[in-house]
């Protein structure tokens, strides 16, 4: 089991100040009756409580929910995991990406097939607490809920997670749509993808627009501090033509040729949690508004 690689829902809800929970005097809301349902391709059926906002990530494995207070945040997923893997992961730090890391405070509590762990949260601009609930399934899968709430509101958040976990359901995975003819070329055509890198106070964002007419645009922005030394803000942009080869069922090649004739190639592959280029995970961003 891997409780990382969940940057997709964090990107979806970045504008809702996930990394900046508010005052501890503001209690998290209780979970009202569910009004909508999220069904993930992995098979997880997740009721969204009234007043909450929920959205499935593009990886089809995780979903993000934000409470009515705009601060209490939940990431839900269905993963392959043995009970031993669940305990090992809950005893280790959980890197959510974007600089947010959950560190276990004490050994997780176990009751039947349910596991509960409390975590200290680092990387948030204001104090926050974390709680993780896991339900191990007989078929070797696990339903995972990761909650982040303002310090002082972790108990209400824990109750919400318990209600969400109890009301969730697991079905057979949705049948995957057949890959379009042309493999990687068809898959990447018209897409906007983004890679986020965080280390301490250093941030980097690489965006890539792959247009349907065979042209591309890319942007790289970064800055912050590395080893206590200011690196300064920087940015770069490229444009030119792109092409891709190979079948989606195997590794393929993405080629970017700039207007000055310089060419670069990246190995593309699909994993359970999404797209990888040269071994680095890229997320599908918002709708491609720069080109088609």
Task: Please state the CATH superfamily assignment of the domain spanning residues 7-170 in this structure.
Answer: Mog1/PsbP, alpha/beta/alpha sandwich (3.40.1000.10)
> Rg of the chain over CA atoms, in angstroms?
20
Q: Who has greater pLDDT, 163 or 281?
A: 163
Provide the residue ranges of all domains of the chain, joining segments of one domain with +.
7-170, 184-284
pTM of the entire predicted model: 0.57
pLDDT at 224: 53
**Residue 220 forms beta bridges with which residues?**
206, 236
Is residue 178 scored above 80 in pLDDT?
A: no
DSSP of 193-214: EEEEEEETTEEEEEEEEE-TTS
Pick from 93-97, 139-143, 179-183: least confident:
179-183
Mean model confidence pLDDT for the chain: 77
Q: What is the pLDDT of residues 248-266, one digit of tens each?
A: 878 899 999 988 888 999 9
In the chain, pLDDT over 70 holds for what percent of residues? 75
């Amino acid at each position: 089991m891997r409780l990382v690689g969940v940057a997709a829902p964090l990107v979806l809800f970045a504008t809702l100040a996930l990394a900046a929970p508010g005052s501890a005097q503001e209690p998290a809301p209780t979970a009202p009756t569910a009004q909508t349902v999220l069904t993930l391709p992995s098979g997880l059926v997740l009721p969204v409580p009234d007043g909450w906002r929920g959205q499935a990530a593009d990886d089809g494995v995780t979903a993000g929910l934000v409470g009515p207070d705009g601060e209490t945040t939940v990431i839900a997923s269905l993963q392959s995991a043995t009970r031993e893997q669940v305990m090992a992961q809950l005893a280790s730090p959980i890197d959510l990406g974007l600089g947010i890391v959950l560190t276990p405070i004490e050994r997780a509590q176990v009751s039947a097939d349910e596991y509960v762990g409390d975590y200290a949260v680092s990387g948030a601009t204001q104090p926050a607490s974390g709680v993780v609930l896991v339900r191990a399934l007989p078929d070797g899968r696990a339903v995972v809920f990761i909650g982040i709430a303002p310090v002082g509101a972790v108990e209400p958040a824990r109750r919400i997670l318990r209600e969400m976990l109890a009301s969730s359901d697991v079905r057979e995975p949705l049948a995957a749509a057949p890959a379009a003819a042309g493999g990687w070329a068809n898959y990447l055509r018209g897409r906007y993808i983004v890679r986020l890198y965080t280390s301490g106070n250093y941030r980097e964002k690489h965006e890539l627009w792959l247009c349907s007419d065979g042209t591309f645009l890319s942007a790289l922005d970064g800055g912050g501090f590395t080893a206590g030394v200011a690196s300064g803000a920087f940015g770069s942009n490229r444009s030119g033509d792109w092409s891709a080869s190979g079948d989606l069922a195997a590794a393929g090649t993405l080629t970017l040729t700039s207007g000055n004739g310089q060419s670069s190639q990246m190995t593309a592959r699909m994993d359970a949690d999404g797209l990888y280029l040269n071994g680095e995970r890229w997320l599908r961003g918002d709708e491609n508004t720069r080109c088609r």
